[in-house]
Structure 1
Amino acid sequence: MDCIPALSTRDAWLGHCVADIGRPGFHARLLQGIHSVLGADHFSHLSYDHQGRIRHAAASSVCDQRLIDSTTDIYVKHLYQRDPNYPLVRNNAPEATGQGPDLRLLRMSPTSIGDTEYRRVLFDEPGFTGKISLLGQWDDRSCYLNFYFSRVPLNMGRASTLLGQYGSTLMGLACRHDELAFPEDEEEAVAGHDAWSTLSPRERSTAELLMDGCTAKEIGRTMDLSPATIVTYKERIFAKLGVGSLREFLALGRPG
C-alpha cells in the first residue's frame, strides 16, 4: 500500500519557496513543489500592468528549460494577446475592476483552443497536453501563473482542486517575489526631455548590453534573469525610446 506523506513533509517545499523569494532559483523551487503535488512539468509566471502589457516573465521546467524559455519568449513577443484567457487578464486589472478580484483558477486543453496557430506553437509543438492557470491581482498588477503538463494528468479535476487549495499561497509568493526581484518597478519613472531618463535601472542595464551586441540569453545570464524577462525589458525600452527595431535602437547610439 502506498504511504501518504505527512502534511508537514508534503508541504515542506513551501518553506523553501519562501526562503528563495527574490532569488533567481525561486521559480524552479516553486515548480519542484507543484510537480511533486500534481505532476505539472513546466511553469510560467507573467506579470501585467493595468494596460494589459507584460511587465515581467519567468519560466521553469523540470524536463527541458530551453523548451519552456523558448515557448515563453514566443508568447511574450508575439502571442500573449491571443491567449484565450487574455480578456480575463485585462478585466482583472485594478483600473478595470475598481477592486482586487477573487483568485481565478482556469483550465485549458489544446482541444478547447480555436486559434490554430496559437494551439500549434504553444501546445502541440512543445508537447503540452494542457495547463491549469491561476489569475489574481496584486497591488497595481495582474499576476498570471501557468502550470503546464506534458502528459495528461490522471485526474484533471483533482489536479485543479489541489492547485486551488494552494492558489492563494502561490499567488502571494509569486507577487512578493516580483516586489523583491524588481524593486525599481515600485518607483515611477520621471519623464524628461531625454527619453533615456525614463528607463528604469534594469532597463538601462539591458539597453547598455544590447548596445554591446549581447543577445537576450546573454543578457539574462549576466543579470540573472530569464530570457523572457529580458525580452519584456527590450520591448519596453523600444517603446520608451520610440524605436521599432534593434537596427533603429542601435542607430540612436549611447546617450551623451
Structure 2
Amino acid sequence: MGDKTASFELIETCLARLGRDGFLTPFLTLSEAAGAAQIMVFSYAPDHAACLLSRNFRAGALGAQLAADYLDGWFLDDPLYTQVMQMQAGDSQTARFDQLRPRMRPEYRTRFFDTPDLAGKAAVLIAGDRLKLVVNLYWDANTTAMPDLCPLLARLALIHFETRPEHSFPEPLAVLSDRERAVCLGMLAGKKAEQIAADLDVAPSSVITYRRRAYAKLGINSRGSLFAICRA
C-alpha cells in the first residue's frame, strides 16, 4: 500500500508541475519507481530525431552510447520510427521488446539490446498537437519492472514537453544541477576544463567532478556522446 501511495503522490506532484522546471525531478523518481534502469524520450520529425530526456538510474550499467548512436542515424532502423510518424494527434500505443524483436534488423538488435545486455524494454508511442514521442523505459536483470505505469509516464511527458517554455540550453541537460549543466554547456561551447573552472570560479578538479556526475545522469561517457544527445 505504501508503494502505491508514494506513486500517487508523485503523480500528483508531476501534474502540478507540468510544463515547469520542477517537473523532471518527480517524473524521474516515478520512472525509477516503475523499475526503469534507464529512460530515454525521443521526438521525431520526417528527417531527424531529437533527444528530450536521457537518464540512467544505474550509472555506467547500461550502454552509455545508446542515445548518441541512436541519433547518429540508427533511429532510421528503429521499427518504431515509421510507426510513430504515421500516428495522429491523440494516438498512443505501447510496444514491448518481445513484440519488437522480430521486426529489428540483426545489426540494430545487437547494438542496442544484446551488447549492452538489456533485459527488456517498454516503449510508448504517443502523438500530440506538436510532438511525436517515443518514451523508452529499459529494465536490467536485477529490476522488478512495473510496465503498467509506462502509458501514464508517456502521457505526462507529452503534456510537459508540449507546454514547457523553451529552454536556453539543450533539453537533455534539464535533468542536471546548475553546475553540472554549466560544465556541459562550457564543453559544448568548445571550452577546456581550465577555462570552464575560471568561468565558474571553481577548481579544475571540481569541473571534472561535475562532468562525471553529469555523464552518469545522462548515461554517456564521452564528449562526443554529449554533443550527440544535445543535437537539435
Check whether TM > 0.5.
Answer: yes
Aligned equivalent of 2:75, options 75, 80, 91: 80
Residue 102 (1) aligns with residue 103 (2): no
1:1-256 equivalences under 5 Å are: 4-5=1-2, 7-18=4-15, 21=18, 22-23=20-21, 26=24, 29-37=26-34, 39-49=35-45, 51=46, 53-64=48-59, 67=62, 69-92=64-87, 99-109=88-98, 112=102, 114-151=104-141, 159-160=146-147, 162-163=148-149, 167=151, 169-179=152-162, 183=166, 212=190, 230-231=227-228, 234=231, 236=232
Identify which range, 171-180 or 140-149, moves more after superposition. Answer: 171-180
Higher radius of gyration, 1 or 2: 1
Q: Output the TM-score relative to the length of structure 2.
A: 0.64
1:193 is matched with none
**Matches of 1:229 and 1:101 in 2, distance apart?**
32
Seq. identity, %: 19
Q: Cα deviation per residue 1:194-228 (whole Å; 9 max; x = unaligned)?
A: xxxxxxx658xx9997563579x97xx6xx99976
Tell me how far apart the structure 2 counterparts of residues 214 and 144 of structure 1 sit (CA, whole Å). Answer: 34
**5+ residue gaps in structure 1?**
93-98, 185-200, 237-256
SS of residue matched to 2:41? strand
TM-score (norm 1): 0.59
Indicate conservation of the 8 Å contact 2:54/2:218, yes or no: no
SS at match of 1:183: coil
* Secondary structure in structure 2 of the residue aligned to 1:171: helix
CA RMSD of aligned residues (A): 4.0
How many residues align? The count is 195
Task: Show CA shifts across 1:219-253 (max 9, x none).
Answer: xx6xx99976853654x5xxxxxxxxxxxxxxxxx
Q: Larger relative contact order (C-alpha < 8 A, sep ≥ 6)?
A: 2
2:57 maps to a residue whose letter is V
Q: Distance in 2 between matches of 1:90 and 1:229?
A: 26
Tell me if structure 2 keeps the 8 A contact 1:84–1:113.
yes
- Partners of 1:75 and 1:116 in 2: CA distance: 15
